[in-house]
Amino acid sequence: MQQKPSRVLVVTHPLRQDVAELAEKIAAALREAGVAARILSGEVDSLCRPDALMVADEDSSASADIVLALGGDGTVLRSAKMAAESDVPLLGVNFGKVGFLAEAETGELETVVSRLLEGDYTVEERTTLAVAAVGADGERTSSWAFNDIAVEKAEPARMLEVFIEVDGTRISRYGCDGVLCATPTGSTAHAMSAGGPVVWPDVDALLVVPMNAHALFAKPMVVHSSSEIRIGVESVGTAGALIADGKRIAELTAGSTVVIRRSQRPVKLVRMSERSFASRLVSKLSLPVDGWRHGRM
């Protein structure tokens, strides 16, 4: 059991009018129960404002106790950094297609609000990533990600030449479409599409997944969460891009290096279900658990 929140920030999908209308009803129910509630569009710019987490009540303005994200995984991702930086829990309700990061579905909203008001939930910490890039000109870029950091080619017709080091040891060098570093939470996102393994969220690890690499050794790797992953761009005349949770944050030219580590700011996800990750995996991905041979003699 947790303490009943006194201030809730409701983040909505920026383009879904139906979600915005439902958010108004949720905020009204929270206010009726004595909880200060504010609604914020899920646009990146609004979430990056210093005052984004401020929730006004009758007496003052203070930071929210919990962030309630209404939308798909994109809305949850856009809300995650803000929640992590302010060290408050994040609860996602899925209005999208898969909603791996969401704890509840649309039809469960009434129950979600009721349990939230009763403090009937738990909080689970999830690993996140910190990235620091240094360009060939010495320009520095830093960022954060919940799911993954990618070094990708910026030109579709060209390969990106890179090398990879783990904890100071060179592992490989190859031409590729890019290299992805993911958290266990992000293993079911871009990393899985790129051929990486599915990793249970409580595993203390990070993933390194080459994308369409032209090399004898280009296997996905699972490394300890304390490892430092260094990716160097060696392509001459072919630019790369640094991408954090799907958002492009820097251009990478020959001589650029990217260092990825576990961030010291985890995401605290609200949990209301006792369903296992394996069960969630099967239902979210509609896995054919009987296999194609089921029923055959």
Active site amino acids: 73
Q: How many other CB atoms sit within 10 Å of the CB of residue 167? A: 12
d(CA 96, CA 73): 7
d(CA 101, CA 148): 14
Concatenating the DSSP letter of every residue in the chain gives: --PPPSEEEEEE-TT-HHHHHHHHHHHHHHHHTT-EEEEEE--HHHHTSTTTTEEE-SS-EEE-SEEEEEESHHHHHHHHHHHHHTT--EEEEE-SSS-TT-SEEGGGHHHHHHHHHHT--EEEEE--EEEEEE-TTS-EEEEEESSEEEEEESSTTSPEEEEEEETTEEEEEEEESEEEEE-TGGGGTHHHHTTPPP--TTS-EEEEEEES-BSS----EEEETT--EEEEE--SS--EEEEETTEEEEEE-TT-EEEEEE-S--EEEEE-----HHHHHHHHHT--TT-TTTT--
Q: Tokens standing for 253?
A: 């030219």
